[in-house]
């Protein structure tokens, strides 16, 4: 037996004498989850008001709407007012109702063959939010394909629609919904959190909107 074999034999003997390794490294009890953002459970009206205030503070826009019929009428009026002739939208039942009064030829429902150049050529992109975070004025949006993600960034205007029932106090309050979605084995893509239009500033602290993404973010907040 050479020196290498002797060393390996001694190692094997020590391991055998010590017993199974898993018994020596039993997992410790998990510490309690830290209460970083305590839940205060505000009512929906208070969350809607805070969401609007927080989003306005970062140059986002919120349009409060009483119901889907009003949302369809007001959105059609907005499209006409802004002269948006081409909209790209993610396929979603809520968005179909919101765009019901917009001329059919003005709305294109995206598919996986869309290019970034096609997205850049539209007047506005339209998505639905999974959750709205009241404390930061943020929209949590599922993006199962790269085309959905482009809708968040490439068109000059990003429009997000959501019912008020999607309002959450903060990110931890939205986590049960988001973690359930993330655990779905069929789920694709990623989740994007959008807070206001694109913003940047130079060394003189002059704020410029729209350099790295949409110049406008409009949230259609539908009460019922």
Position 30 scores a pLDDT of: 60
CATH number of 42-222: 3.40.50.10420
**DSSP H/E element including 14:** helix 3-18
Position 3 scores a pLDDT of: 79
Instruction: Return the SS3 of 208.
Output: strand
Q: Average pLDDT of 208-214?
A: 71
Average pLDDT, the chain: 88
What span, in angstroms and rounded, lies between the C-alpha atoms of 164 and 93? 16
| pLDDT greater than 90 at residue 208 | no
Burial 91-124 (b: 16+ CB within 10 A, else e): eeebbebbbbbbeeebbeebeeebeeebbeebbb
What span, in angstroms and rounded, lies between the C-alpha atoms of 160 and 62? 10
| pLDDT greater than 90 at residue 166 | yes
Residue with tokens 């929906």: 44
| pLDDT greater than 80 at residue 15 | no
Per-residue model confidence as pLDDT tens digits over 49-81? 999 999 999 999 999 999 999 999 999 999 999
| pLDDT greater than 80 at residue 33 | no
Position 137 scores a pLDDT of: 96
Tokens of 219: 């949230």
Per-residue model confidence as pLDDT tens digits over 169-200? 999 999 888 888 888 888 888 999 999 887 77
Position 64 scores a pLDDT of: 97
Burial 28-47 (b: 16+ CB within 10 A, else e): eeeeeeeeeeeeeebeeeeb
Beta-carbon-side half-sphere exposure of residue 175 (alpha carbons within 13 Å): 6
Per-residue model confidence as pLDDT tens digits over 94-130? 999 999 999 999 999 999 999 989 989 999 999 999 9
Prediction pTM value: 0.80
Tell me the domain boundaries of the chain.
42-222
- Can you list the pairs that 201-210 forms with residues at least 24 positions away whose Cβ atoms lie under 8 Å? 209/59, 210/156
What span, in angstroms and rounded, lies between the C-alpha atoms of 73 and 99? 9
**Residue 65, beta-bridge partner list:** 222
- Sequence-ordered strand ranges (E) for 151-204: 157-163, 167-168, 190-194, 199-201
């Amino acid at each position: 037996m050479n020196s290498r074999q002797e060393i390996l034999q001694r190692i094997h003997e020590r391991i055998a004498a010590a017993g199974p390794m898993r018994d020596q490294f039993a997992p410790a009890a998990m510490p309690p989850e830290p209460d970083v953002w305590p839940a205060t459970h505000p009512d929906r009206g208070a969350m809607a008001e805070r969401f609007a205030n927080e989003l306005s503070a970062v140059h986002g826009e919120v349009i409060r709407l009483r119901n889907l019929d009003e949302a369809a009428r007001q959105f059609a009026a907005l499209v006409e007012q802004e002269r948006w002739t081409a909209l790209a939208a993610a396929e979603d039942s809520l968005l179909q109702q919101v765009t019901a009064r917009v001329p059919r030829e003005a709305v294109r429902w995206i598919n996986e063959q869309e290019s970034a150049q096609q997205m850049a050529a539209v007047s506005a992109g339209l998505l639905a939010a999974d959750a709205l975070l009241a404390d930061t004025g943020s929209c949590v949006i599922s993006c199962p394909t790269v085309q959905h993600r482009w809708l968040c960034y490439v068109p000059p205007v990003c429009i997000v629609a959501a019912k008020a029932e999607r309002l959450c106090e903060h990110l931890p309050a939205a986590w049960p919904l988001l973690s359930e979605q993330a655990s779905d084995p069929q789920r694709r893509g990623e989740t994007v959190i959008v807070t206001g239009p694109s913003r940047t500033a130079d060394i003189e602290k002059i704020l410029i909107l729209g350099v790295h993404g949409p110049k406008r973010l409009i949230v259609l907040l539908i009460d019922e």
